[in-house]
């Protein structure tokens, strides 16, 4: 137990020393942290190739995406694989689950973490037994630790690591020669092979097959479909990219100039893709391509200034954006309408994420706050105070379930946030327990009411109006459960997976923190143990309430 984590630590120290320019090993960074549910342990670290030093001062912050490849080029059968340290019981379980998942073809659980926006592309395990089973099937197909990949950008490179291997260096590097890949997204349910999207600093966008990249031995992108070639439609930097959940190959690219474009991957990138000039840049506007062959098909002008983060609700009906102007905006995606939104306390918003049930949105930014936006109340219902610098990544942990679910009335959400303060914070959101400082009635003294009453004193705001920044004295504050300094460099994102929390720093390093109760966190000295076995102690339907 101690051996394995010590080994991890020394490996990490020496490698981060190399990454930080020959500096001393990072002092005071622990390889575990405690949460109410137990210890999270540093399991793996992923970095870029060590020769990439000159990019450390680069202008791009690393984003990371977890890709679970369902159909590998040559899937080995679980039982015939002479794998090491792999228990038979879980093998049988995996095989069974694989059968189930394969036969009904249900969507599997996936995570795509952009700039902190960890987006749950398909239904979460909260949906019911089917999706939980298929989650398992998904892991079954990864049983050999080769089906889950970490994709991240750094400088002019895009790197792919095997998430479940000990190797720190990526298995694959793709270079773009002086243009920077800045964002990416993966869709494991992609039908025709192109499952990976890459947005560049030039505004160009590629779709490719991840599997094809892994099979190729070169350092260039292969078999790519190219959109917005040389920035012909929009030459401002891509900031974030996302598949439309259930969108049949449609995807959205957000740019640094406040525009967002919808593409269809089945269409050629060429053709007349001109859009009418934006009449009033201060107003939200939608424009459809004049030409039927155009790709992109739609332009969303959302704001002035950069769009810093986008996130689809898991069912694809809502799209949230955050930007340089400090506003969170929530759109009805199919209807192309602005529903609601509001301003940060001050400064830009940098990241956003939805709860799996679509009821809450987290947004973090330059006011050091994690704001919790309620879709029922259409306003900020709480501020998370605890970061010492800008909040660069937020995500709900949809695999987490409260230890005591006897009281079914209470809904508890677990979420995490990372910041430029190099810290990971974990939070519990329990709306019923939030004390709201009530607005002072004329002449009265401040009284307090519970959060469930908040809707009473806020009249319904008209559709599509953006709220100004709230007053400090009106917003309830919550404090984090866990504060843990995870890296030496400012962080750029976090991703929750079934087994772990991934923290990503701007300079291209990712740390994988195993959840309590998983073999790795229990200190298995055999680091070859496949992660998929970790599920055996985990109730499959844990999130169902």
Partner 1 sequence: MGTNASQLEKEIGLEFPPNERFFGLANFGNTCYSNSVLQALYFCKPFREKVLEYKAKNKRPKETLLSCLADLFYTIATQKKKVGSIAPKKFIARLRKEKEEFDNYLQQDAHEFLNFLINRINEIIIAERQAHLQKQKPNAENVNDSKSQEPTWVHEIFQGILTSETRCLNCEMVSSKDEDFLDLQVDIDQNTSITHCLRCFSNMEMLCGDNKFKCDNCCSYQEAQKRMRVKKLPVILALHLKRFKYMEQFNRHIKVSHRVVFPLELRLFNTSDDAVNPDRLYDLVAVVIHCGSGPNRGHYISIVKSHGFWLLFDDDMVDKIDASAIEDFYGLTSNVQKSSETGYILFYQSKDCN
In this complex, which beta carbon is closest to partner 1, that of residue 308 or of residue 497? 308
Among 292, 388, 479, 525, binds partner 1 (CB under 8 A): 388
In this complex, which beta carbon is closest to partner 1, that of residue 420 or of residue 454? 420
In this complex, which beta carbon is closest to partner 1, that of residue 54 or of residue 473? 473
Q: Is 257 in the site for partner 1 (CB under 8 A)?
A: no
Q: Residues with Cβ < 8 Å from 96, sequence gap 6 or more? A: none
d(CA 98, CA 80): 15
d(CA 190, CA 54): 36
Q: Please say whether the beta carbons of 181 and 200 come within 8 A.
A: yes
- What would the 3-class secondary structure string for 272-341 be? CCCCCCCCCCCCCEEEECCCCCCCCCEEEECCCCCEEEEEECCCCCEEEEEECCCEEEEEECCCCEEEEE
Measured from the CB of residue 182, what is the shortest distance to partner 1 in angstroms? 13
d(CA 44, CA 503): 11
Candidates 102-110, 132-140, 257-265, 388-396; binding stretch for partner 1 (CB under 8 A): 388-396
Measured from the CB of residue 23, what is the shortest distance to partner 1 in angstroms? 5
Which residues within the stretch 487-526 sit at the binding site for partner 1 (CB under 8 A)? 488-490
Which residues within the stretch 416-445 sit at the binding site for partner 1 (CB under 8 A)? 420-422
Measured from the CB of residue 476, what is the shortest distance to partner 1 in angstroms? 15
In this complex, which beta carbon is closest to partner 1, that of residue 262 or of residue 436? 436
Measured from the CB of residue 389, what is the shortest distance to partner 1 in angstroms? 4
Q: Please say whether the beta carbons of 90 and 129 come within 8 A.
A: no
Give the DSSP per-residue string, 459-484.
Answer: PPPPTTEEEPPPPGGGS-EE--SEEE
Among 347, 437, 516, 517, binds partner 1 (CB under 8 A): 347
In this complex, which beta carbon is closest to partner 1, that of residue 108 or of residue 344? 344
In this complex, which beta carbon is closest to partner 1, that of residue 105 or of residue 444? 444
Measured from the CB of residue 181, what is the shortest distance to partner 1 in angstroms? 18
In this complex, which beta carbon is closest to partner 1, that of residue 277 or of residue 460? 277
Helix (H, G, I), strand (E, B) or coil at 453: helix
Among 109, 312, 345, 513, binds partner 1 (CB under 8 A): 345
In this complex, which beta carbon is closest to partner 1, that of residue 239 or of residue 295? 239
Measured from the CB of residue 491, what is the shortest distance to partner 1 in angstroms? 10
d(CA 240, CA 249): 17
Among 18, 95, 100, 469, binds partner 1 (CB under 8 A): 469
Burial 225-264 (b: 16+ CB within 10 A, else e): bebbeebebbeebbbbbbbbbbbebbbbbbbbbbbbbbbb
Q: Is 447 in the site for partner 1 (CB under 8 A)?
A: no
d(CA 45, CA 167): 8
Place of tokens 């197909």: 141
Among 1, 99, 463, 472, binds partner 1 (CB under 8 A): 472
In this complex, which beta carbon is closest to partner 1, that of residue 115 or of residue 298? 115
Measured from the CB of residue 99, what is the shortest distance to partner 1 in angstroms? 49
Q: Residues with Cβ < 8 Å from 337, sequence gap 6 or more? A: 331, 463, 464
d(CA 115, CA 117): 5
Q: Beta strand pairing status for 379-385 and 477-478?
A: parallel
In this complex, which beta carbon is closest to partner 1, that of residue 302 or of residue 422? 422
Q: Please say whether the beta carbons of 508 and 52 come within 8 A.
A: yes
Q: Residues with Cβ < 8 Å from 231, sequence gap 6 or more? A: 202, 203, 204
Interaction mask 348-387, partner 1, x per CB under 8 A: x-----------------xxx------------------x
Among 78, 326, 480, 530, binds partner 1 (CB under 8 A): 326
Q: Is 23 in the site for partner 1 (CB under 8 A)?
A: yes
Among 20, 35, 434, 466, binds partner 1 (CB under 8 A): 20
If binding means CB under 8 A, how many residues of this protein chain bind partner 1?
Answer: 25
Q: Which residues bind partner 1 (CB under 8 A)?
A: 20-21, 23, 326, 345-348, 366-368, 387-390, 420-422, 469, 471-473, 488-490
């Amino acid at each position: 137990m101690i051996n394995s984590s010590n080994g991890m630590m020394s490996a990490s120290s020496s490698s981060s020393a190399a990454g930080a320019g020959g500096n001393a090993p990072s002092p005071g960074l622990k390889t575990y942290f405690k949460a109410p549910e137990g210890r999270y342990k540093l399991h793996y670290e992923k970095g870029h190739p060590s020769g990439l030093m000159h990019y450390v001062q680069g202008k791009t912050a690393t984003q990371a995406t977890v890709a679970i490849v369902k159909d590998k080029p040559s899937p080995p059968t679980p039982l015939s694989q002479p794998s090491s340290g792999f228990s038979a019981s879980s093998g049988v379980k995996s095989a069974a689950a694989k059968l189930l998942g394969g036969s009904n073809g249900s969507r599997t659980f996936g995570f795509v973490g952009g700039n902190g926006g960890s987006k749950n592309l398909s239904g979460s395990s909260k949906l019911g037994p089917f999706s939980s089973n298929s989650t398992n099937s998904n892991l079954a197909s990864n049983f050999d630790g080769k089906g889950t990949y970490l994709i991240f950008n750094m400088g002019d490179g895009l790197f792919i690591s095997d998430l479940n291997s000990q190797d720190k260096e990526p298995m694959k590097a793709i270079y773009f020669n002086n243009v920077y890949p800045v964002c990416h997204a993966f869709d494991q349910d992609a039908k025709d092979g192109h499952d990976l999207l890459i947005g560049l600093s030039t505004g160009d966008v590629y779709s490719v097959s991840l599997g094809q990249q892994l099979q190729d031995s070169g350092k260039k992108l292969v078999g790519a479909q190219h959109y917005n070639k040389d920035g012909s439609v929009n030459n401002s930097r891509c900031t974030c990219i996302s598949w439309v959940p259930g969108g049949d190959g449609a995807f959205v690219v957000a740019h640094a100039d406040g525009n967002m474009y919808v593409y269809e991957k089945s269409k050629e990138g060429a053709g007349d893709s001109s859009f009418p000039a934006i009449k009033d840049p201060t107003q939200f506007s939608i424009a459809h391509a004049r030409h039927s062959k155009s790709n992109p098909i739609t332009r969303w002008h959302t704001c002035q200034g950069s769009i810093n983060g986008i996130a689809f609700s898991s069912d694809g009906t809502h799209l949230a954006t955050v930007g340089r102007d400090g506003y969170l905006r929530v759109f009805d995606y199919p209807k192309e309408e602005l529903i609601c939104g509001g301003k940060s306390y001050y400064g830009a918003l940098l990241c956003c994420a939805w709860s799996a049930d679509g009821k809450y949105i987290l947004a973090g930014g330059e006011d050091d706050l994690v704001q919790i936006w309620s879709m029922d109340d259409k306003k900020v219902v709480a501020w998370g105070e605890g970061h010492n610098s800008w909040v660069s990544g937020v995500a709900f942990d949809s695999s987490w379930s409260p230890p005591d679910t006897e009281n079914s009335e209470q809904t508890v959400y677990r979420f995490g946030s990372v910041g430029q303060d190099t810290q990971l914070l974990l939070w519990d959101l329990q709306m019923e327990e939030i004390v709201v400082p009530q607005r002072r009635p004329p002449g009265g003294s401040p009284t307090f009411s519970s959060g469930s009453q908040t809707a009473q004193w806020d009249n319904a705001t008209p559709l599509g109006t953006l709220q100004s920044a709230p007053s400090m004295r009106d917003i309830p504050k919550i404090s984090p459960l866990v504060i843990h300094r995870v890296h030496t460099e400012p962080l750029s994102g976090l991703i929750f997976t079934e087994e772990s929390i991934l923290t990503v720093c701007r300079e291209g390093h990712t740390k994988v923190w195993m959840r309590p109760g998983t073999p790795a966190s229990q200190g298995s000295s055999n680091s070859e143990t496949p992660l998929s076995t970790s599920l055996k102690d985990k109730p499959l339907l844990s999130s169902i309430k």
